[in-house]
Amino acid sequence: MRAAIHFHPDAYVLDGNQLMGRRAAGAAFLRAAIEAGGDPLVGYVDSKEIVDTFTGAVRSLDPVAVTECLVKGNVAPLVRIGCLYRADPVMGPGARLRLRSGLSSYSLCGITHTLLSSGTLDAIGSLLTEPVMDWDALICTSSAAIQVVTSTLDEAGEYLRWRTGTLVPPPRPQLPVIPLGIHCDDWSSTESDRSKARQSLAIGDDEVVLLFAGRLSYAAKAHPFQMYEALRDVADRTGQKLTLLLAGQFFNKPIKNDFRENAAIICPNIRFLHVDGEDAAVYAAAFAGADIFVSMADNLQETFGITPLEAMAAGLPVVVSDWNGYRDTVRNGIDGFRVPTWAPVAGPGVRIAALYEITESYDFHSSRTSTLVSMDSAQLVSRLVQLVRSPDLRREMGENGRQRARQDFDWRIIYPKYRELWAELAARRTRAASNVQRALIAQAPRAHFAHDDPFRRFASYATRTVNAATLVRTNTGADGAKYAELTARPMLSFWRLPPELAGEILDAAADEPVAIGEIARRLGKNSDMMIEQIARLAKLNLVTLHNAD
């Protein structure tokens, strides 16, 4: 089973965009879909301007890949394909648009990435009020993610029940847990690669290199303070020459300078290096040349965390915070160590939530929450000391992680799980059409109320209505040439229809008043479309409208 991919450059293209986990995951997913082969890769884009970007993104990965691109609104091929996948949890708008082709005409599939923003949580809660069905799915990338999603839906349901008084819960989408994948071969390296990488980074044989990779930000990934202090203590205890290698992108130069200056103050006994994550070759060299991977993630926005997997695929032992998706990927004591974390009980966060709602500043909200999350510093130091002192332990855990990444998280393993899910959703649609949900499908509106026919919604505005029975009479001197002359003016050009059709309509009503429905019949056109076009001709004073009575 395949799916059309709702393609937007922000979700799948790395070039020209800041390096973020969701973009890296999107690019890797796109590559996995291409490498899976089979049917043409179908992109679904919001506008014609993005068609070339989609094709270019695919061809940059496989120059001979066969593609098909659908522009938003062209749903007939979606009905044939059976599923539309998008790289976020915002499924409501797509579900609304699907009403026009039928509630069970195809499935929708989204995925979780950042869950902290109010916009994302609102989108998840709205799955109960949008026409999202149980033949749709929201993929949760970790056990932590599904708990957030489930609790959000539960609370949204309670809110809805309070507001409407109904006790009947609406259908929910499926919530499968499918982790993100990586292309393990991209991260494998040899001893020769390691030597070249360390030489290129001017790292000596006597240095133990600890790597942190990803967003270099105080609030969006991992605050470095506890890591800095731990490394200082590890260097003091072991007497080992340590190097901290940061691989990634800083949001701006002041943050970059602050990271470096604080490292010099907090852990002056540690050598500090930085490589730009935008340079793929240098970024890969950081993994090849490192000895230990460290990531003390503390933010609430992340649900999975892909960099530990990349480190595991590179054969590095990993020391991570016992936090969100890291619990699903890193086996404590086998691939590395998970360091216990502390966060406040529910209650103190009420004030923080209120401040976010008032200020609408996501960055401040992420900062306020992440600064309340701490690591067990003593255990962090102890685990790092173990690994720094024991090359054998580093090799053992690194090899365990390498096998774990390849067996459980390579895209060759993960992508088929997507296809299995999409096939399951298709089966659910088929069953739904033949059981008790048949009535629900039949009673579904043909459009969402926010996108209803504007002349139905605002029917109270006009004095009279233009309908199929309305009589039309062409005004003196009005013809196709006059229409072309008027619509050539900038102020009228956006109303333009083919002058030939305008001429045919004007000719049809030139001799006597004719009902719009009759003109539609004569010209072989849809009656509603003819009402629309004739109403525009009346706007241009080319025809006069009369009531049929």
Question: Do 58 and 193 belong to one domain?
Answer: no
Question: Do 161 and 259 belong to one domain?
Answer: no
- Our measurement of the distance from residue 262's CA atom to the centroid of its chain's CA atoms, rounded to an integer in Å, reads 34
Residue 536 lies in a domain: yes
Residue 532 lies in a domain: yes
* Burial category of 32 from C-beta neighbours within 10 Å (exposed 0-12, middle 13-18, buried 19 and up): buried
Please check whether residue 343 is in contact with residue 372, taking contact to mean a CB–CB distance below 8 angstroms: yes
Helix (H) or strand (E) holding 246: strand 241-248
CA 422/CA 33 separation, integer angstroms: 13
Question: Do 227 and 196 belong to one domain?
Answer: yes
Orientation angle between helical segments 21-36 and 51-61, nearest 10 degrees:
70
Eight-class DSSP state of 121: H
Residue 448 lies in a domain: no
Residue 70 lies in a domain: yes
**CA dist 103 to 96, 132, 406, 429, 441, Å?**
9, 9, 39, 10, 6
Question: Do 399 and 422 belong to one domain?
Answer: no
Question: Do 219 and 310 belong to one domain?
Answer: yes
**CA dist 191 to 70, 187, 195, Å?**
47, 13, 6
- Residue 242 pairs in a beta bridge with 208
Angle at 397 between CA 396 and CA 402, to 5 degrees: 100
Question: Do 299 and 327 belong to one domain?
Answer: yes
pLDDT at residue number 21 = 74
Residue 13 lies in a domain: yes
Q: Tokens in use for 314? A: 């590179």
pLDDT at residue number 13 = 87
Residue 459 lies in a domain: yes
Total count of domains within the chain:
3
Question: Do 363 and 423 belong to one domain?
Answer: no
pLDDT at residue number 269 = 97
Q: Which of helix, strand or coil describes residue 352?
A: helix
Tell me how crowded residue 384 is: count the other CB atoms within 10 A of its CB.
Answer: 26
Q: Which of helix, strand or coil describes residue 419?
A: helix
Question: Do 25 and 77 belong to one domain?
Answer: yes
The CATH number linked to 382 is 3.40.50.2000
Among candidate residues 343, 246, 366, the one with its CA nearest the CA of residue 294: 246
Host domain of residue 35: 4-180+416-443
Question: Do 290 and 353 belong to one domain?
Answer: yes
pLDDT at residue number 204 = 95
Question: Do 331 and 472 belong to one domain?
Answer: no
Q: Tokens in use for 324? A: 């969100």
Please check whether residue 181 is in contact with residue 411, taking contact to mean a CB–CB distance below 8 angstroms: yes
Please check whether residue 115 is in contact with residue 149, taking contact to mean a CB–CB distance below 8 angstroms: yes
Residue 319 lies in a domain: yes
Burial 151-177, CB ≥16 within 10 A → b, else e: ebbeebbeebeeeeeeeeebebbbbbe
Sequence-distant (6+) residues with CB within 8 A of 525 are 519
Per-residue pLDDT of the chain (549 residues), as tens digits, is 889 999 999 999 877 556 677 888 999 999 999 999 878 999 999 999 999 999 999 999 999 999 999 999 888 999 999 999 999 999 999 999 999 999 999 999 999 998 889 899 999 999 999 999 999 999 999 999 999 999 999 999 889 888 888 766 788 999 999 999 999 999 999 999 999 999 999 999 999 999 999 889 888 889 999 999 999 999 999 999 999 999 998 888 899 999 999 999 999 999 999 999 888 889 999 999 999 999 999 998 888 999 999 999 999 999 999 999 999 999 999 999 999 999 998 888 898 989 888 988 888 888 889 999 999 999 999 999 999 999 999 999 999 999 999 999 999 999 999 999 999 999 999 887 666 567 777 777 777 666 677 777 777 888 899 999 999 999 999 998 999 889 888 888 876 778 889 999 999 999 999 999 999 999 999 999 899 899 989 999 999 999 877
Among candidate residues 497, 494, 503, 501, the one with its CA nearest the CA of residue 474: 503
Q: Tokens in use for 134? A: 């149980």
CA 30/CA 6 separation, integer angstroms: 11
Question: Do 217 and 301 belong to one domain?
Answer: yes
Amino acid in the structure at residue 449:
F
Residue 30 lies in a domain: yes
Question: Do 429 and 363 belong to one domain?
Answer: no
pLDDT at residue number 548 = 76
Please check whether residue 243 is in contact with residue 270, taking contact to mean a CB–CB distance below 8 angstroms: yes
Ramachandran angles phi, psi of 337, nearest 5°: -135, 145
